[in-house]
Amino acid sequence: MTDLIDPPDRLDESAVNLTELERASFDGGVNVADGHARHELTPAQREITDRLPELFAEAAAAPENELDRSCQHAVLGALGQHTAVADCEILSCYSSSLAMEILGRALHAAGIRRVAAIHPTFDNIPDILRGIGLTLLPVPEKGVLDGSARLPAGTEVLLITTPNNPTGRVLSREALTLWAERCAAGGVVLVLDASFRGFDPAAQYDSYAVLAAAGCRYVVVEDTGKLWPTLDLKIGMLVFDPGERLPLRRIYSDILLGVSPLILALVREFARDAAAGGFTDLHRMVATRRDVLRSQLVPVGTLWFPDPDSRISVDRIALPPGLRATEVWRHLRRQGVHVLPCRQFHWADPESGERCLRIALGRPVGIVATAAAALRDYLG
Ligand code: EGV
């Protein structure tokens, strides 16, 4: 891409956001930077893309609401979210970032300002919300996930990314119950970003049953963007109780009429395949790449993997003492290997992210192996 504001060789990694660092790899080289799905299609997925002309014809002819509903049902059903399918309002968007933008604007329009959010997490979530004029207050991941965190005074919204990006940590059913009950008692809106749900069965319990039982106000962002190598044809969804009074539909319609029916039809087919065994293949694919990455780096005894239980399609590496992630990032980049330094994930305390790199695993296995070898050579 040529439209970077900074020429790539003058990228200041401490000043730009993670997405700009991800886009720096678009000129070529080994890209294990962005978390998007760039691995091979499975044979079953290839059969779906071979049917694209047929899906195009179906999409052109089908009533749009029907296609939208069947896609939402296929995706949420595959993710185990049966109560959402039965009881919730669902708005389909082109991406989860767009869904987050719509949600942020709806919160702002309702007079809400103070959002307590999990820390660290992918920087575009706090950046989008701050860009709208909301105030973001960090809550440490550990305290969110074990329930020990205290919400900052005046909290109106609690936002939890689960599984979290980049750590892969999951909010358990018990912890969700706790936060949903606290939010119900305190009049706090609970927002979940579950974009990585598809990677981890531990995140696939029926979250909406928990939210409904607690009686809290909630909005959940669901996403297919990280799961399947569909060239960024994907659906982000806003899912909420039909009685929710945030102006979500109004803001949505300011921005969107709807998602392309071709995308709805394609995503529906990938979701049906996922439910019929595709998720098992996906989990195996990610596990293989994680093993390749970690085993290649075993000889470098002074680094470690801070997220041993992560199952999502990225993995963090904690660097040997004395090394800064942005230095390692810069060095690898000169060799044409693009990783992510974790600085910006720590949106309220960037310095604390300098210990870690993030490596994307949704790639052909050779790409992950090449990146791991480059890192091992540099550190070893
Ligand atoms: C990840 C890209 C956006 C984002 C990538 C991501 N940035 N949408 N501004 O989709 O983990 O690499 O979430």
Write out 191-230 in H/E/C secondary structure.
EEECCCHHHCHHHCCCHHHHHHHHCCCEEEEEECCCCCCC
Closest-CA residue to 115 (of 348, 311, 310)? 348
CB of 122 shorter than 6 A to ligand 1: yes
DSSP 360: E
Give the contacts of 263 (CB within 8 A, at least 6 positions apart): 94, 233, 234, 235
Give backbone dihedrals phi and psi of 193, rounded to 5 degrees, phi first: -110, 105
CB of 121 shorter than 6 A to ligand 1: no
CB of 97 shorter than 6 A to ligand 1: yes
Average pLDDT of the chain is 95
pLDDT tens-place string over residues 277-294: 999 999 999 999 999 999
Contact 214, 183 (CB under 8 A): yes
Closest ligand 1 atom to residue 33 Cα is 12
- Cα(380) to ligand 1 centroid in Å equals 30
pLDDT tens-place string over residues 44-92: 999 999 999 999 999 999 999 999 999 999 999 999 999 999 999 999 9
Q: Provide the token pair at 254.
A: 């300011």
Q: Is the backbone peptide bond immediately before 341 cis, with ω within 30 degrees of 0?
A: no
CB of 34 shorter than 6 A to ligand 1: yes
Q: How many other CB atoms are found less than 10 A from the CB of residue 50?
A: 10
pLDDT tens-place string over residues 190-246: 999 999 999 999 999 999 999 999 999 999 999 999 999 999 999 999 999 999 999
pTM, two decimals, is: 0.96
